[in-house]
């Protein structure tokens, strides 16, 4: 009898050679299985690569799989199966943490396409925010200078109020970006349905991924601005 591998991911059961169809357990002998080679987080939950998910359904699938894959259920199993349980449980947790977050789902999907690699994210100010970003940086410099020189309470209060107002504006911009990302995510789901129903080409989906990538870059920049303001205000 063969044993499972925590690195290889066969399309058939390692124990009885039955086709598994990517399931976590063999439909014939019930043995735990590695993820098929090339499988992604969506496949872990038997979901299509759609960006609109039912949080309750995802959570239900997670708890069900978490119970089935828990290492406690494999205490008397051979070492290879116990190790496979640990690997699959870890993969399940990573998959759930990623897919339960709408932004995380988009980033993961684009990562599968090689569009969100480390160091590829562009950190450029969105054109529509250039003036506000310039004013924000001036206000941050003024606050740091006043803090360093021991500015008066009135001066510090005025600078703090300016930064709080800027924080609210950028938080509003961040909310707008999230809404835009949600709209494009819906377009992605429709495009995916069109592919399955009519065999549409990849051009539309590539354009949508490029749009989502650009939105994520803007989101990352604005989020960093908001975090910078919060940090400065926390030090006042």
DSSP codes of every residue in 89-158: HHHHHHHHHHHTSHHHHHHHHHHHTT-S-TT-------GGGHHHHHHHHHHHHHHHHHHHHT--HHHHHH
pLDDT for the residue numbered 150: 80
CATH number where 47 lies:
1.10.287.110
Q: For residues 39 and 19, give the distance between their C-alpha atoms in angstroms, rounded to a whole number.
A: 15
Q: Both 60 and 143 in a single domain?
A: no
Q: Is residue 120 part of a domain?
A: no
The encoded tokens of residue 187 equal 């377009």
Q: Is residue 18 part of a domain?
A: yes
Maximum average pLDDT range among 116-125, 137-146, 169-178: 169-178
Percentage above 70 pLDDT, the chain: 89
Q: Give the residue among 81, 54, 56 at the shortest CA–CA distance from 70.
A: 81
pLDDT for the residue numbered 3: 43
What percent of the chain is helix, strand and coil (3-state, nearest 5)? Answer: 65, 0, 30
pLDDT band, residue 34 (cuts 50/70/90): confident
Domain count, the chain: 2
Domain coverage including residue 171: 127-234
Beta strands in 48-157 (DSSP E): none
The encoded tokens of residue 104 equal 């995380």
**Residue 2 reports pLDDT greater than 60:** no
How does pLDDT run across 104-139, given as a tens digit for each residue? 999 999 999 888 765 555 566 778 778 888 888 888
| CA within 13 Å, CB half, 233 | 19
């Amino acid at each position: 009898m063969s044993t499972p591998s925590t690195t290889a991911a066969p399309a058939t059961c390692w124990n009885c050679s039955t086709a598994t169809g990517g399931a976590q357990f063999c439909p014939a002998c019930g043995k735990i299985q590695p993820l098929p080679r090339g499988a992604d987080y969506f496949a872990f939950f038997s979901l299509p690569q759609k960006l609109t998910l039912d949080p309750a359904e995802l959570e239900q699938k997670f708890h069900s799989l978490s119970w089935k894959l828990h290492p406690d259920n494999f205490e008397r199993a051979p070492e290879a199966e116990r190790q496979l349980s640990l690997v699959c449980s870890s993969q399940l947790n990573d998959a759930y943490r990623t897919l339960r977050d709408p932004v995380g789902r988009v980033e993961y999907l684009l990562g599968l396409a090689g569009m969100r690699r480390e160091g590829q994210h562009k950190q450029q100010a969105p054109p529509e925010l250039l003036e506000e970003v310039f004013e924000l940086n001036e206000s941050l410099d003024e606050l740091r200078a006043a803090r360093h020189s021991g500015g008066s309470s009135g001066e510090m209060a005025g600078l703090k109020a300016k930064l709080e107002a800027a924080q609210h504006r950028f938080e509003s911009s961040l909310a707008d970006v999230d809404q835009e990302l949600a709209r494009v995510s819906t377009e992605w789901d429709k495009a995916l349905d069109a592919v399955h129903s009519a065999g549409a080409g990849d051009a539309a989906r590539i354009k949508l991924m490029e749009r989502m990538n650009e939105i994520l870059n803007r989101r990352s920049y604005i989020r960093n601005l908001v975090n910078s303001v919060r940090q400065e205000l926390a030090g006042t």
